[in-house]
Amino acid sequence: MYASPSYPPPDWPAVRTFVERQVHGKLVATGADGYPTASLIPYRYVPDPEGGWGRFEVHLVQGDPTLEALAHRPQAGFLVDDFLAFTPHHVLDPDDAGLATLHFYAVMFRVDATVLTDPAEVAAVLERLVARYEPDARWAPLADDDRYGPRLRRLAAAVLTIRGYDAKFKVGQNRTPEERRRLAAYLRAQGDPLAARAARHLDPAGPS
């Protein structure tokens, strides 16, 4: 993504906090034909105890073109993003169309993928994924048994080791405080919970 000087890249603690709060990512891999393929998938972020960037654990379905692409080329991209809102130009200037913009958070990770298809290994990853998404729930433990076995053999897991990343948090940093308040007021006036949520990101000190 374009590294605009108007939007200073966030530091790693901010990136990690953002990633740990999101619920899905887009895994992008390049197949033998040279074209990319992508899958939207749940994930679990795993910190590196030695201070590195860590890794992601994900699950896919055997036969997924993205999984097949990883077998050809394990170097891939993993995009975690959060679209906030679009604000039209007239909020700031009725004559300057160049002021229309999107607001978002996005982190594109460069990863090396290790694919797992052994049912026991897939079950272990899925167990941790379910615990992340349903921390207070109870379930029969995932194992290669009569209940889960047939499904586990149709699934796969992947460990995505982070090798680098590009991040952009675009929430009006190039605007003055007054302009950000105007943008946030416009979003709040839409009467939409998602727009109100976006307004809080543009103007954290404004009305809740």
pTM of the model: 0.94
pLDDT band at 189 (very low <50, low <70, confident <90, very high): very high
Amino acid 2: pLDDT: 87
Q: How far from 36 is each of 31, 40, 70, 140, CA to CA, in Å?
A: 6, 14, 11, 37
pLDDT band at 159 (very low <50, low <70, confident <90, very high): very high
pLDDT band at 44 (very low <50, low <70, confident <90, very high): very high
pLDDT band at 178 (very low <50, low <70, confident <90, very high): very high
**Mean pLDDT, the chain, whole residue set:** 95
**Contacting residues for 116 by C-beta, under 8 A, at least 6 apart:** 122, 125, 156, 157, 158, 159
144 vs 120: CA distance, rounded Å = 6
Amino acid 206: pLDDT: 82
Amino acid 207: pLDDT: 82
pLDDT band at 27 (very low <50, low <70, confident <90, very high): very high
102 vs 111: CA distance, rounded Å = 27
Q: Which two tokens stand for residue 107?
A: 């982190």
Per-residue pLDDT of 74-118, as tens digits, reads: 999 999 999 999 999 999 999 999 999 999 999 999 999 999 999
Residue 208 has pLDDT above 80, yes or no: no
Q: Which residues pair with 156 in a beta bridge?
A: 60
Residue 205 has pLDDT above 90, yes or no: no
Helix or strand or coil: residue 17?
helix
Helix or strand or coil: residue 139?
coil
Amino acid 156: pLDDT: 97
